[in-house]
Amino acid sequence: MCSTCGCGEADVRLTTLDQEGSTGHGHGHGHGHVHEHAHADGDHDHVHVERDEELRTHTLELEVAVLAKNDGLAVRNRRWLGERGIVSLNLMSSPGAGKTTLLERTIAAAGRPVSVIEGDQETLFDAERIRRAGARAVQVNTGAGCHLDAAMVSRALEELQPERDSILFIENVGNLVCPALFDLGEKRKVVVISVTEGDDKPLKYPHMFAAADIVVLNKTDLLPYVDFDPDRLTRDAQLINPDVQVLPISAKTGDNFDAWLEWLS
Amino acid sequence: MHELAIAENVVSSVLERTDGRVSVVRLRVGQLSGVVPDALTFCFEIATMGTALEGAVLEIEEQRGRAHCRSCGEEFSMEDAFLLCPCGSADVQLLAGRELSVTSVQVA
């Protein structure tokens, strides 16, 4: 594993898909890539040392955030994106909630260039769907990894080079647990939940809903067929995250999609 | 299983700041940090294998969630992840519970 950024441990692979559909090579991970390793503010060591002469040991006070390295890289990603006027959104959900369908429809309707960093453990399926929808995509395959981190996004940005003033979606690995902890440098975190998953998810996965800037309630076209109470979902999500907005849409039929596009703009 | 990634971050943080002759690594883990202490302890053993920290003991100080209620003005300890004051108000501000840091190490 790379002890600096941790980016080798899960056999992470990058594959670039341009709009014409040719598969670019994902750069190997021989550490030819240049990325600075920023440090978050407050990442400092105390030199306060308590000695225990009898045991010949001493305590070294560190007080360093465990994810300081990830957070430092996220700060750097955020600055890089901000300088280019790129609006970046981290899309998180269970597998199958409809993230990619949401993106396909968004690409067609956004009115400005869209590019996508696709995170999945395996396959290029999603990046291929994005490319067919008319946007550039880089697929990050995390292997055994269950989430994207800021180092993976940093590498993906070097490959993707999103254009100025565009929208960048980072479609995280489908998982309602682990991605909540890792800042990628995005501007906003979007949690997608579909009506087929059940309205009890905010209380079952509070960390994800606590991290969300907006909750998109997808597949509302299926509401007549499932026991799902949108009011309960909203109430519980706001119990975890009082200011969070819940936006019901159907990415398949386009119902209420204008509200999503308005939020994006 | 993000605890493995967390454990690897702990190991690299400690190795960057010490020569690796460390017998105890102490963490502060907030109850709202999204990290399960037992899983982290299990992963720490795996993450230290083959490193200078192999055999080091992980000590976790769990920190309770604490919040301030803007409605009644009271501070309260949280039993779970719900931002709800015992007075019934949801207009609360989280004060503590999301921490995830290496507090100190015992250098052998």
pLDDT at A19 > cutoff 90: no
Q: How confident is the model at residue A9 (pLDDT cuts 50, 70, 90)?
A: very low
The predicted pLDDT at position A27 comes to: 41
Q: Which of residues 144-173 of A touch B (CB under 8 A)?
A: 145-147, 149
Residues in chain B with CB shorter than 8 Å from the CB of A3 are 12, 15
Q: Which of residues 85-124 of A touch B (CB under 8 A)?
A: none
The predicted pLDDT at position A155 comes to: 95
Q: Does A258 touch chain B (CB under 8 A)?
A: no
> Is A62 in Cβ contact with B13 (below 8 Å)?
yes
Q: What is the C-alpha separation between A147 and A175, in angstroms, rounded?
A: 8
Closest residue, chain A, to B4 (C-alpha): A145
Closest residue, chain A, to B10 (C-alpha): A66
Q: Does A178 touch chain B (CB under 8 A)?
A: yes
Q: Does A45 touch chain B (CB under 8 A)?
A: yes
Please say whether the dihedral angle defined by the alpha carbons of residues B46, B51, B54 and B57, taken in this order, is positive or negative: negative
Does residue A140 contact residue A14 with C-beta atoms inside 8 Å? yes
Q: Does A3 touch chain B (CB under 8 A)?
A: yes
Task: Tell me the average pLDDT of chain A.
Answer: 86
Q: What is the C-alpha separation between B16 and B36, in angstroms, rounded?
A: 25
Closest residue, chain A, to B5 (C-alpha): A6
Q: Does A2 touch chain B (CB under 8 A)?
A: no
Question: B17: which 2 tokens?
Answer: 């700041």
The predicted pLDDT at position B90 comes to: 79
- Compute the nearest-CA separation of A180 from chain B (Å): 8
Q: How confident is the model at residue B82 (pLDDT cuts 50, 70, 90)?
A: confident
Range scoring the smallest mean pLDDT among A104-118, A175-189, B71-85: B71-85
Taking residue A105's Cβ as centre, other Cβ atoms within 10 Å add up to: 20
The predicted pLDDT at position A38 comes to: 42
Q: How confident is the model at residue A55 (pLDDT cuts 50, 70, 90)?
A: low
> Which amino acid, residue A96?
G
How confident is the model over A242-258, as pLDDT tens digits?
Answer: 899 999 999 999 999 99
> Is B23 in Cβ contact with A70 (below 8 Å)?
no
Whole-structure pTM value: 0.81
Mean pLDDT calculated for residue range A155-182: 95
Mean pLDDT calculated for residue range B47-54: 96
Residues in chain A with CB shorter than 8 Å from the CB of B35 are 181
- CA atoms within 13 A of residue A92's CA, in its CB half-sphere: 30
> Is B83 in Cβ contact with A62 (below 8 Å)?
no
Q: What is the C-alpha separation between A252 and A250, in angstroms, rounded?
A: 5
Size of interface A-B (CB pairs under 8 A): 103
Mean pLDDT calculated for residue range B13-31: 94
Residues in chain B with CB shorter than 8 Å from the CB of A54 are none
User: Interface pTM (ipTM) of the complex?
Assistant: 0.83
> Is A69 in Cβ contact with B13 (below 8 Å)?
yes
Residues in chain A with CB shorter than 8 Å from the CB of B100 are 65-67
Question: B16: which 2 tokens?
Answer: 């960057």
